Amino acid sequence: MKLPESLNRKLEKSKQSNLFRKLPAFNNLIDFYSNDYIGFSKSETIFKHTHAYLLENEILQNGATGSRLNTGNHSLYPIAESFIAEFHEAETALIFNSGYNANLGFFSAVPQANDVILYDELCHASIKDGISMSKAKSQYFIHNDFEDLEKYILRYPDTTIYIVTETVFSMDGDCPNLEELVQLSEKYNCYLIVDEAHALGVFGEKGEGLTQYLQLHNKIFARIVSFGKGLGCQGATILGSAELREYLINFAHSFIYTTALSPHAVATILMAYQQLESEKDAIEKLRQNIVFFNQQKNLLGLKPMFIHSKSAIHSAIVPRNKNVKAYSVQLQDKGFDVQSILSPIVPEGQERLRFCLHSYNSQEEIIKVLKLVRDFVF
């Protein structure tokens, strides 16, 4: 049966506007693209430990499918959530099936009809989708501009206000001034929510994230932490108070009305967190690569192209879709998987090559890929 004509028109429009998506084919190119920052998705240690843990504790025989509010709440969940909460120095942790589900669940359920949500304009689509499902009023503020944020706060006196940001922004790789943002939220008694999807495994002695690294985590109402990037596995958690956890269990639809993760998936999360506690080498190697990448782009005269970043994400601005697509193809032809980000996904004139750094990238690879960019540009 054919698609309705209205859907065909949408598909055609997406092709014409560079928004048409295809599933990428697997390749053996040098990885400057994935979010597997410390290589956990490829870890044989985590794979072996997960299977050994399940067998030793006879958990596979006790698994069941269904919502966690009925048969899906198997015995591994409280073990994993307790470990995660302790790791992140949080009162509680609640596991969701993905970061997308966690953001949908939180923002659609927590802010109420008379509340206000103020969010950074570059927040991830999953946050914006959750906000769109909320009954609260919402308004974005200019990226990392807290004077603009304060202007909107002052418009809503005597109102419950939720401020939303990310510790690492996925397209720019930059970070907000969290100390200033915490001070502002405390000044006006706002509730601060941060998404740490791209900070886990990257910041902190154990890769615990930017808020803990800065020792600000106890001043934040909720932290949303996805596992599909630095942790290399499925799922996410919302960190917060015991009352917030109880509220989400009762009112977050993406938690209530979904099949729980399998025992194997939860065991993988637990083993990955345990690996974070002991795996200092990969985290340190990633930090060294981030410093080295920044040094090399400066030495090669590429600094003006790049958005300032101390995270694992580095974006080089190459205006016009035609140009950035050509550079991406040339890099891939030379063996490097570097993807182009096109408008209107980013604003026109902000098209970019997006580099994701990993613990397993060598310094030689970093030098070579940046020299190729220099040769293309100059």
Question: pLDDT band for position 70 (50/70/90)?
Answer: confident
Nearest by Cα to 162 from 84, 110, 214, 202: 110
Instruction: Mark which of 278, 294, 321 sits at the end of a domain.
Output: 278
* 192 in the same domain as 251: yes
How far is it, in rounded angstroms, from Cα 234 to Cα 268?
Answer: 8
**Residue 17 belongs to a domain:** no
How much is the pLDDT for 63?
A: 57
**Three-point CA angle 48, 225, 210, nearest 5°:** 105
Q: Which helix (H) or strand (E) holds 273?
A: helix 263-278
How far is it, in rounded angstroms, from Cα 33 to Cα 39?
Answer: 13
How much is the pLDDT for 192?
A: 98
* 290 in the same domain as 268: no
* 296 in the same domain as 271: no
Domain of 128, CATH number, reads 3.40.640.10
Q: Which residues contact 76 (CB under 8 A, 6 or more apart)?
A: 59, 263, 266, 267, 270
**Residue 82 belongs to a domain:** yes
Question: pLDDT band for position 201 (50/70/90)?
Answer: very high
* 209 in the same domain as 141: yes
**Residue 20 belongs to a domain:** no
Helix axes 99-109, 242-251, angle to 10 degrees: 90
How much is the pLDDT for 64?
A: 62
How much is the pLDDT for 19?
A: 72
pLDDT in tens, 328-343: 999 999 999 999 999 8
Q: Which residues contact 283 (CB under 8 A, 6 or more apart)?
A: 38, 201, 202, 205, 206, 207, 276, 359
Better pLDDT: 275 or 25: 275
**8 A C-beta contact, residue 320 and residue 335:** no
pTM for the model stands at 0.95
SS3 327: helix
Domain of 325, CATH number, reads 3.90.1150.10
* 293 in the same domain as 265: no
How much is the pLDDT for 164?
A: 98
> Among 63-72, 104-113, 160-169, 369-378, whose mean pLDDT is lowest?
63-72
Place of tokens 């209107």: 344
How much is the pLDDT for 61?
A: 55
Q: What is the mean pLDDT of residues 167-172?
A: 96
Question: Which 8-state DSSP code applies to residue 90?
Answer: -
* 157 in the same domain as 191: yes
**Residue 51 belongs to a domain:** no
**Residue 145 belongs to a domain:** yes
* 249 in the same domain as 298: no
How much is the pLDDT for 213?
A: 97
**Residue 85 belongs to a domain:** yes
Instruction: Mark which of 238, 263, 278 sits at the end of a domain.
Output: 278
Question: pLDDT band for position 269 (50/70/90)?
Answer: very high
**What range defines the domain where residue 202 resides?**
57-278
What is the residue-wise DSSP string for 103-147? HHHHHHHSS-TT-EEEEETT--HHHHHHHHTSSSEEEEE-TT-HH
**Residue 12 belongs to a domain:** no
Helix axes 76-87, 263-278, angle to 10 degrees: 30
Q: What is the mean pLDDT of residues 178-192?
A: 98
Average pLDDT value for the chain: 94
User: 3-class secondary structure for 3-52?
Assistant: CCHHHHHHHHHHHHCCCCCCCCCCCCCEECCCCCCCCHHHCHHHHHHHHH
Residue 258: C-alpha distances to residues 49, 108, 249, 264 (Å): 27, 15, 12, 17
How much is the pLDDT for 158?
A: 94
* 257 in the same domain as 356: no
The total of structural domains in the chain comes to 2
Pairing verdict, β 336-337 and 30-31:
parallel
**Residue 294 belongs to a domain:** yes
Q: What is the mean pLDDT of residues 242-262?
A: 97
Place of tokens 């570097």: 338
Q: Which residues contact 78 (CB under 8 A, 6 or more apart)?
A: none
Q: How many CB atoms lie within 10 A of CB 147?
A: 9
pLDDT in tens, 13-57: 888 876 787 887 778 999 999 999 999 999 999 999 999 998 888
* 305 in the same domain as 225: no
**Three-point CA angle 180, 182, 183, nearest 5°:** 65
How far is it, in rounded angstroms, from Cα 332 to Cα 318?
Answer: 16
pLDDT in tens, 277-327: 888 899 999 999 999 999 999 999 999 999 999 999 999 999 999 999 999
Instruction: Mark which of 278, 303, 321 sits at the end of a domain.
Output: 278
* 337 in the same domain as 246: no
Looking at the predicted structure, is the pLDDT value of residue 3 above 80?
yes
How much is the pLDDT for 25?
A: 77
Q: What percent of the chain has pLDDT above 90?
A: 86
How much is the pLDDT for 62?
A: 56
How much is the pLDDT for 316?
A: 97
* 290 in the same domain as 256: no
Looking at the predicted structure, is the pLDDT value of residue 99 above 80?
yes
Q: What is the mean pLDDT of residues 109-125?
A: 97
How much is the pLDDT for 16?
A: 81
Structure tokens at 215: 């020792």
Q: How many CB atoms lie within 10 A of CB 219?
A: 16
Better pLDDT: 8 or 216: 216
Q: What is the mean pLDDT of residues 166-190?
A: 98
* 121 in the same domain as 230: yes
